[in-house]
């Protein structure tokens, strides 16, 4: 029961994070694209990223929500795996930007997340990456203990 509660909390945090930032980026495409166009490395892919990332964030949130509402561990597994991949990419990118570029960089995040500086983003992303990893491990343990050994994480 304790694992279920922890897993629900982790899933809920990702649902809130990804729905909030994904929907914000989709609703404010001009601001999101403008920030992306100023970022080194990804500026030439801003059009693709401006649509792909927020849609992926919303898809992951919906998968996690489906996993919670229907108690479907496969949906939750894919949502947590997607969260881990996305947060790892975000974390590595922020880490790279901090080591490569020392001048003030614009933030392309949605809503209130834009208030964080790049070091705070690195800490935040690292914490959420670890949460996704813990969530995947808990989900795997729950699936194994329930006797469902197919498609284990």
The pLDDT tens digits of the residues spanning 59-72 come to 999 999 998 887 77
Give the dihedral sign, CA 60/87/14/133.
positive
Q: Per the domain annotation, does 152 fall within a domain?
A: no
The answer to the question of residue 25 being in a domain is: yes
Q: Give the DSSP letter of residue 115.
A: G
69 located within any domain: yes
Which domain, by its residues, includes 46? 2-142
**17-60 pLDDT tens trace:** 999 999 999 998 998 888 888 877 777 888 899 999 999 999 99
- pLDDT for 111: 67
Angle subtended at Cα 131 by Cα 125 and Cα 132, rounded to the nearest 5 degrees: 90
Is 153 inside a domain boundary? Answer: no
Does residue 44 lie in a domain region? yes
> Whole-model pTM?
0.86
Could you give the number of structural domains in the chain? 1
Sign of the CA dihedral running 65, 70, 76, 78: negative
Answer yes or no: is pLDDT of 102 > 50: yes
| CB-based contacts of 116-124 (< 8 A; 24+ apart in sequence) | 118/94, 121/90, 121/94, 122/91, 122/94, 122/95, 122/98
Residues 150 and 144: their CA atoms lie apart, in Å, by 9
Residue 148 has pLDDT above 60, yes or no: no
The answer to whether residue 150 sits within a structural domain is: no
């Amino acid at each position: 029961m304790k694992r279920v509660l922890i897993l629900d909390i982790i899933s809920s945090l990702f649902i809130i994070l990804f729905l909030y930032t994904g929907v914000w980026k989709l609703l404010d495409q001009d601001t999101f694209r403008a920030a992306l166009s100023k970022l080194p490395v990804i500026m030439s892919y801003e059009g693709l990223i401006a649509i792909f990332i927020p849609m992926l964030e919303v898809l992951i949130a919906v998968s996690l929500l489906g996993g919670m509402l229907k108690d479907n561990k496969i949906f939750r597994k894919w949502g947590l795996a997607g969260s881990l991949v996305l947060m790892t990419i975000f974390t590595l990118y922020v880490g790279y930007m901090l080591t490569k570029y020392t001048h003030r960089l614009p933030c392309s995040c949605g809503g209130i997340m834009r208030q964080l500086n790049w070091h705070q983003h690195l800490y935040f992303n690292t914490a959420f990456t670890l949460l996704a990893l813990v969530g995947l491990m808990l989900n795997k343990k729950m699936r194994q203990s329930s006797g469902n050994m197919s498609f284990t994480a």
